[in-house]
Chain A
Amino acid sequence: MARFVAVTPSQQNNQLSFSPLASSLSDFSGTKLHCSHIHFKRKQWQTKSASFYVSASSNKKILIMGGTRFIGVFLSRLLVKEGHQVTLFTRGKAPVTQQLPGESDSDYADFSSKILHLKGDRQDFEFVKSSLSAQGFDVVYDINGREAVEVEPILDALPNMEQFIYCSSAGVYLKSDLLPHAEVDAVDPKSRHKGKLETESLLQSRGVNWTSIRPVYIYGPLNYNPVEEWFFHRLKAGRPIPIPSSGLQITQLGHVKDLARAFVQVLGNDKASKAIFNISGEKYVTFDGLARACAKAGGFPEPELIHYNPKDYDFGKKKAFPFRDQHFFASTEKSKSVLGFENEFDLVEGLTDSYNLDFGRGTYRKEADFSTDDIILGKTLVSV
Chain B
Amino acid sequence: MSMATLSSSSASLLFSASSSNLFPLSHSSTSRLSFSSSLHSSTASLFSASSPTFLACPSSSSRLSATSNNDGGPVFSISASAAEKKKVLIVNTNSGGHAVIGFYFAKELLGSGHSVTILTVGEESSDKMKKPPFNRFSEIVSAGGSTVWGNPADVGSIVGGEVFDVVLDNNGKDLETVRPVIDWAKSSGAKQFLFISSAGIYKLTDEPPHVEGDTVKADAGHVGVEKYLEESFSNWASFRPQYMIGSGNNKDCEEWFFDRIVRDRPVPIPGSGLQLTNISHVRDLSSMLTLAVEKPEAARNSIFNCVSNRAVTLNGMAKLCAQAAGRPVNIVHYDPKAVGVDAKKAFPFRNTHFYAEPRAAQTKLGWSSTTNLPEDLKERFEEYVKIGRDKKTIQFELDDKILEALKVPVPV
Known: A187-B16, A204-B22, A333-B52. A286 touches B309 (CB 8 A): no
In-complex Cβ contact of A197 among B10, B22, B211, B317 (8 A):
B22
A201: CB under 8 A from chain B? yes
Question: Which of A43, A187, A246, A273 has a CB less than 8 Å from the CB of B38?
Answer: A273
Q: Is the CB of A333 within 8 A of B315?
A: no
- Which A-chain residue is minimally distant from B213 (CB atoms)? A43
Question: Which residues on A sit within 8 Å (CB–CB) of B275?
Answer: 248
Contact yes or no, A182 B55, CB < 8 A: no
The digit string for B18-45, where 1 denotes a CB below 8 A from any CB of A, is 1011110000000010110111110000
A176 and B13 contacting across the interface, CB-CB below 8 Å = yes
Q: Which of B175-183, B201-209, B287-295, B401-409 contacts A (4 or more CB under 8 A)?
A: B201-209
Interface residues of B in 288-329 (CB under 8 A from A): 309-313, 315-317, 319-320
Tell me, yes or no, whether B359 is within 8 Å of chain A by CB: yes
What is the minimal beta-carbon distance from A190 to any residue of chain B, in angstroms?
9
Q: How far apart are A151's CB and chain B's nearest CB, in angstroms?
A: 15
Are B206 and A179 in contact, CB atoms less than 8 angstroms apart? no
The answer to whether B4 has its CB under 8 Å from any CB of chain A is no
Question: How near does chain A come to B410, taking the closest CB pair, in angstroms?
Answer: 25
In this complex, what residue of B is CB-closest to A249? B274
Once the chains bind, are A270 and B363 in contact (CB under 8 Å)?
Answer: no
Task: State which of B71, B274, B317, B359 has its C-beta within 8 Å of the C-beta of A334.
Answer: B71
A184-B72, A186-B21, A289-B206 known; A44-B213 Cβ under 8 A: yes
Residues of A within 8 A of B72 (CB): 182-184
Not counting A337-B53, A338-B38, a sample of 8 additional A-B residue pairs whose C-beta atoms are within 8 angstroms of each other reads A177-B320, A185-B14, A186-B13, A187-B22, A283-B207, A283-B211, A289-B206, A333-B359
Q: Nearest-CB distance from A322 to chain B (Å)?
A: 17
A176 near B14: Cβ-Cβ < 8 Å: yes
CA distance A272 to B50 in the complex (A): 12
- Which label, helix, strand, loop or mixed, suits the secondary structure of the B interface? loop
Which A residues, 151 to 186, have Cβ-Cβ distances below 8 Å to chain B?
174, 176-180, 182-186
Say whether B362 faces chain A, with CB atoms less than 8 Å apart: yes
* Contacting residue for B13 out of A177, A201, A334, A338, CB 8 A: A177
User: Quick check: A186 and B16 within 8 Å, CB to CB?
Assistant: yes
Instruction: Verify B272–A248 contact, CB threshold 8 A.
Output: yes
- In this complex, the member of A178, A189, A347 whose beta carbon has the largest number of chain B beta carbons within 10 angstroms is A178
Q: Which residues of B contact A178 (CB under 8 A)?
A: 13-14, 310-312, 316, 373
Provide the bound-state CA to CA distance between A190 and B234, in Å: 55
| Distance in angstroms between the alpha carbons of A173 and B363 in the assembled complex | 25
Check if B353 sits within 8 Å of A292, measured CB to CB: no
> Is B206 within 8 A of A333, CB to CB?
no
Q: Are A272 and B38 in contact (CB under 8 A)?
A: yes
B12 to chain A minimum Cβ distance, whole angstroms, is 7
Task: Decide if A270 touches B41 in the complex (CB within 8 Å).
Answer: yes
Chain A residues contacting B274 (CB-CB under 8 Å) are 245-246, 248-249, 327
Bound Cα distance A289, B359 (Å): 22
Inter-chain contact B310/A347, CB cutoff 8 Å: no
Contact assessment for A285 and B211 in the assembled complex, using a CB-CB cutoff below 8 Å: no
Contacts of A184 in B (CB 8 A): 32, 34-35, 37, 70-72
- The answer to the question of B276 belonging to the interface, with a C-beta cut-off of 8 Å to chain A, is yes
Contacts of B315 in A (CB 8 A): 177
Given contacts A274-B37, A275-B38, A327-B274, contact A189 B209 (CB under 8 A): no
Q: What distance in Å separates the Cβ of B311 from its nearest Cβ neighbour in chain A?
A: 5
Q: Give the residues from 354 to 370 in chain B that come closer than 8 angstroms, CB to CB, to chain A.
A: 359-360, 362-363
Cβ of B52 and Cβ of A186 under 8 Å apart?
no
A199–B13 Cα gap in the complex (Å)? 22
| Cα–Cα distance between A13 and B12 once the two chains are bound (Å) | 55
Instruction: Identify which of residues 318-368 in chain A touch chain B, using a CB-to-CB cut-off of 8 Å.
Output: 327, 331, 333-334, 336-338, 347
- Is B39 within 8 A of A273, CB to CB? yes
Pick the most buried of A44, A176, A333, A347: most chain B CB atoms within 10 A of its CB: A333
Flag if A286 contacts B52 (CB, 8 Å): no
> A338 and B55 in contact (CB under 8 A), knowing A45-B213, A177-B316, A246-B272?
yes
Q: Tell me the complex Cα distance, A105–B71, Å.
A: 46
B interface residues, Cβ below 8 angstroms from A? 10, 12-16, 18, 20-23, 32, 34-35, 37-41, 50, 52-53, 55-56, 70-72, 205-209, 211-214, 271-272, 274-276, 309-313, 315-317, 319-320, 353, 359-360, 362-363, 373
Of A200, A246, A272, A333, the contact of B22 (CB 8 Å cutoff): A200
Contact with A333, one of B10, B18, B53 (Cβ below 8 angstroms)? B53
A270 to B47, CA, bound (A): 14
Residue of A nearest to B315 (CB): A177
Determine the chain B residues whose CB is within 8 A of the CB of A290 once the complex forms: 206
- The verdict on A256 contacting chain B, using a C-beta distance below 8 Å, is no
Is A250 among interface residues, defined by CB-CB distance under 8 A? Answer: yes
Given A179-B276, A189-B20, A338-B52, verify A250-B353 contact (CB < 8 Å): yes
Q: How many angstroms between the C-alpha atoms of A313 and B206 in the bound complex?
A: 27
Distance of B397 from chain A, by nearest CB (Å): 27
The answer to whether A337 touches B310 (Cβ under 8 A) is: no
Contact: B207 with A285, CB < 8 Å?
A: yes
Query: Does A271 count as interface, using CB distance less than 8 angstroms?
Result: yes
* Minimum C-beta distance from B210 to chain A (A): 10
Is A288 an interface residue, CB under 8 A from the partner? Answer: yes
When distances are taken between beta carbons in the complex, the residues of chain B under 8 Å from A271 are 38, 40
A258 to B362, CA, bound (A): 22
**Contact between chains at B38 and A179 (CB < 8 Å):** no
Cβ-closest chain B residue relative to A42:
B213
Is A276 an interface residue when CB atoms closer than 8 A count as contact? yes
Q: What are 26 A-to-B residue pairs whose CB atoms are below 8 Å?
A: A43-B211, A174-B12, A177-B317, A178-B14, A178-B373, A180-B310, A182-B72, A183-B72, A184-B32, A185-B32, A187-B16, A201-B22, A270-B40, A271-B38, A272-B38, A273-B39, A275-B37, A283-B209, A284-B209, A292-B206, A293-B207, A333-B53, A333-B359, A334-B37, A337-B56, A338-B38
